[in-house]
Structure 1
């Protein structure tokens, strides 16, 4: 099962094929050329793309990305999330001795509400103004040498709009006519059609890693492999401390958890998820590995799946 992340409305059938095609390329690079035809043809029917993207644009959804900042709680969340991304870029640059990125991160930090030293809110700023300020922070951050590859976002404003979906999921509101919150409807959509009597391999990306993590906490079937790509799961108070359950722990049905991140992926904060997660009852913890992508669009799931390091263990789990 594939679980997508932030972004616009999806064409589930097209994306399912795109993810499988990328996985086939990664499998070939990993020395599994024997399964390439199966990935693009035979296994297609066995693979489900769990699409919940329309739930962010239905009648319960807000009409504009900046509307997600209408309340103080949402404003505080988005400010904390953006500040956490600045922190992570700055920390990674310091570890690499990357002075150019440190200068960019310092410039971005200076633009944060309160100069990055407050509680994440500013009572004098309305939602629209705060959205503009945070978009400017991200626009500056995207000028860092590695992050210029995040070409899927022309500036920080569309990136902030996509990131606001993380906040909307985690605030656990936006109830439908039956009283179900947005996050509950998303998890229900993801698990719809799964058969607990059959092993389930989950490949999740971006916000989808948060969704999959929470959806699997009550899942009754075997999960031989959970794979998280470009995950914001461990992003401090903005995400980590809002997960359910608390303190966060590996879902008990997960038998193996592989987490991959690209250092130029701006959405990933605190990439080493295992440092912030308790083990499952069986002792399973995430195992994190870094991959380095060339060119543009580093935050896409297909970019990750084309890596031999990602595709190899996934194909081995499918063969098992």
Structure 2
């Protein structure tokens, strides 16, 4: 039996799940070759090395206003969502400012963005949290790792994307008595089976979704890989993750967490400092990777790294022979 490989995506607009799966597999194959596993490349791209599945839930973020409007994702649902986005950005900015290696120009951009998030005198007004977040994001788009014609194009557009984190964690928007976060976890759970081993790779918001979903999973997960995770964000994310206290799911045999310094979504990347071990003493082990280019957050950037692809391919190989 082929081992399963389940990809869980993060924030972003609507996507073609099939095309995305192939992009992630191609990036993984590139990383595998760089890690010295060139013999696994054809198996990954050809589909016989693993039963690869892409757990897609992006369509669930569409609002009623966007259903007929070209498939745009919805913006945050209210002031609570906007305030959570502000806290998420504020912690990310503060963490970067505390980095002793921050460049002077970068520090000036970050300080300006912080002032926009928390204006002097507490300036408010109509739509204040959302306006503050949008203004700060427009400033932050000048930073390395965020500049990109193919990434986040404007502060106003980006707040809707980041707002997906808030909408998931605020546990609202019920349909048929089922909240948005539960419907999203249901999509991921559909890709998991209890029989045989499953390697799970989760990115961005997907790391939160995967963690919560795996706590209810009864199958074997020899390896969980998280990429660009916001789980360590202590004010906006960590206190809202379920169950509390946050711990590694019982089904996980190994957890590797990867972050890029220029990925502002991963504000506090060393998850082992915040996540408790499971009964098998498994907790996250974090490692830094460095991607060149202006837009480092996408999952494919991480998967193309040898440090990420190497242990992933090795876990699939071990699962196939166990």
TM-score, normalised via structure 1 length: 0.90
Question: What corresponds to 1:136 in structure 2?
Answer: 135
- Give 1:148 deviation, angstroms: 3.1
Among candidates 294, 298, 301, match of residue 299 of structure 2: 301
SS of residue matched to 2:287: strand
Question: What corresponds to 2:211 in structure 1?
Answer: 213
SS of residue matched to 1:218: coil
- Give 1:158 deviation, angstroms: 2.1
Between the aligned partners of 2:314 and 2:116, the Cα distance in structure 1 is 46
- Give 1:305 deviation, angstroms: 0.5
Structure 2 unpaired stretches of 5+: 1-5
Among candidates 72, 82, 92, match of residue 85 of structure 1: 92
Give deviations 1:208-235, integer Å, cap 9, x for gaps: 0010011001110111000000110111
Question: What corresponds to 1:25 in structure 2?
Answer: 30
Between the aligned partners of 1:4 and 1:145, the Cα distance in structure 2 is 23
Among candidates 239, 256, 261, match of residue 241 of structure 1: 239
Give deviations 1:156-178, integer Å, cap 9, x for gaps: 2222211100000000010002x
Between the aligned partners of 2:11 and 2:200, the Cα distance in structure 1 is 17
Contact in 1 for aligned 2:10/2:205 (Cα 8 Å): yes
- Give 1:86 deviation, angstroms: 1.1
Looking at secondary structure, tell me which structure has more helix per residue: 1
Q: Which deviates more, 2-11 or 62-71?
A: 62-71
Question: What corresponds to 1:153 in structure 2?
Answer: 152
Contact in 1 for aligned 2:169/2:181 (Cα 8 Å): yes
Between the aligned partners of 2:191 and 2:81, the Cα distance in structure 1 is 32
Q: Which deviates more, 142-151 or 183-192?
A: 142-151
Contact in 2 for aligned 1:65/1:164 (Cα 8 Å): no
SS of residue matched to 2:76: helix
Matched positions, count: 310
Question: What corresponds to 2:103 in structure 1?
Answer: 98
Among candidates 284, 287, 290, match of residue 286 of structure 1: 284
RMSD of equivalent CA atoms:
2.2
Q: Are 1:7 and 2:7 counterparts? A: no
- Give 1:45 deviation, angstroms: 6.8
Question: What corresponds to 2:126 in structure 1?
Answer: 126
Question: What corresponds to 1:250 in structure 2?
Answer: 248
Contact in 1 for aligned 2:248/2:275 (Cα 8 Å): yes
Contact in 1 for aligned 2:25/2:44 (Cα 8 Å): yes
Question: What corresponds to 1:68 in structure 2?
Answer: 76
Contact in 2 for aligned 1:305/1:311 (Cα 8 Å): yes
1:302 and 1:193, CA in 2 relative to 1: closer, same or farther beyond 3 A? closer
Between the aligned partners of 1:219 and 1:66, the Cα distance in structure 2 is 30
- Give 1:126 deviation, angstroms: 2.7
Contact in 2 for aligned 1:228/1:258 (Cα 8 Å): yes
Between the aligned partners of 2:93 and 2:267, the Cα distance in structure 1 is 9
Give deviations 1:129-153, integer Å, cap 9, x for gaps: 4323211111212223454368501
- Give 1:66 deviation, angstroms: 7.6
1:104 and 1:54, CA in 2 relative to 1: closer, same or farther beyond 3 A? same
Structure 1 unpaired stretches of 5+: none
